[in-house]
Structure 1
Amino acid sequence: MHPVIPYLIAALLFGVGCYGLLVRRNAVLLLMSLELMLNAVNLILVTADTSVVGVPRSGQVFALFVIVLAAAEVGVGLAVVLRFFRLRGSVDTDLLDTRRAGPGPAPKAPAAGTAADPETAAVTAADTDAGEAR
């Protein structure tokens, strides 16, 4: 068998994984797309190991390391997805809010007329300056 066929299959798998990683919004499907990409890398490593003659066989060892890495990624990734589901009730990554630090309540917007509002802060500062000048 020519080594071109597994390389083409690996390129197809990697392309489908990249497409899924860029398009999908579900966190579980993102993990599945990442697994497809890792499997494409494993296919390339094993194909290169069997097709290249005269070099030490190390592609299978690297593929084993990638499999271990993928298992660890699944464990940590699913733990993050489960925590995300418990907090938000959905695994849609559009709901991910990176501005909040923890699971507490969302920060409240400052009320109108406070110093955090730039328009009213300028008016109140001008009023106090005018009041001090009198």
Structure 2
Amino acid sequence: MVPLSWYVALSAMMFVTGLVGVLIRRNIVVVLLCIEIMLNAVNINFVAFSDYLHLIDGQIFVFFVITVAAAEVAIGLGIIISLFRLRESVNMDDYNLLKL
């Protein structure tokens, strides 16, 4: 049986990898994928602690997180496609549309 600390360490490494990707990368699609990595790291924690505590609540909550992540990807990709058609670039530095 794998100890809980291994799952937490894996989740922490995945979360940090996603966070670094969000902070460093300038490509919108890569940033969206890094956010997905961060959400999956949280899901690993939910499932690991759910199994460790013998509760089903964490595993049920994972389904809600996956649902929200799927909606986020669908809306995010739609926005990215419309911005690409407008500016013909997926580089975040090219978009200052939301600045006042």
What TM-score do the two structures reach when normalised by structure 1? 0.70
Q: Kindly provide the amino acid, as one letter, of the partner of residue 49 in structure 1.
A: S
Higher helix share: 2
Runs in 1 of length 4+ with deviation above 4 angstroms? none
State the match for 2:72 in structure 1. Answer: 73
| Alpha-carbon separation, structure 1, partners of 2:98 and 2:57 | 44
Identity of aligned residues (%): 38
| Alpha-carbon separation, structure 2, partners of 1:12 and 1:100 | 33
Q: Which has the larger radius of gyration?
A: 1
What TM-score do the two structures reach when normalised by structure 2? 0.94
State the match for 1:96 in structure 2. Answer: 95
Pick 1 or 2: higher relative contact order, CA cutoff 8 A, min separation 6.
2
C-alpha RMSD of matched pairs (Å): 1.5
| Alpha-carbon separation, structure 2, partners of 1:12 and 1:80 | 29
Residues 29-66 of structure 1 deviation map (CA, whole Å, 9 limit, x = unaligned): 0000000000000000000000014xx42000101100
Count of residue pairs brought into register by the alignment: 99
| Alpha-carbon separation, structure 1, partners of 2:98 and 2:47 | 43
State the match for 1:61 in structure 2. Answer: 60
Structure 1 unaligned blocks of 5 or more: 102-134
Structure 2 unaligned blocks of 5 or more: none
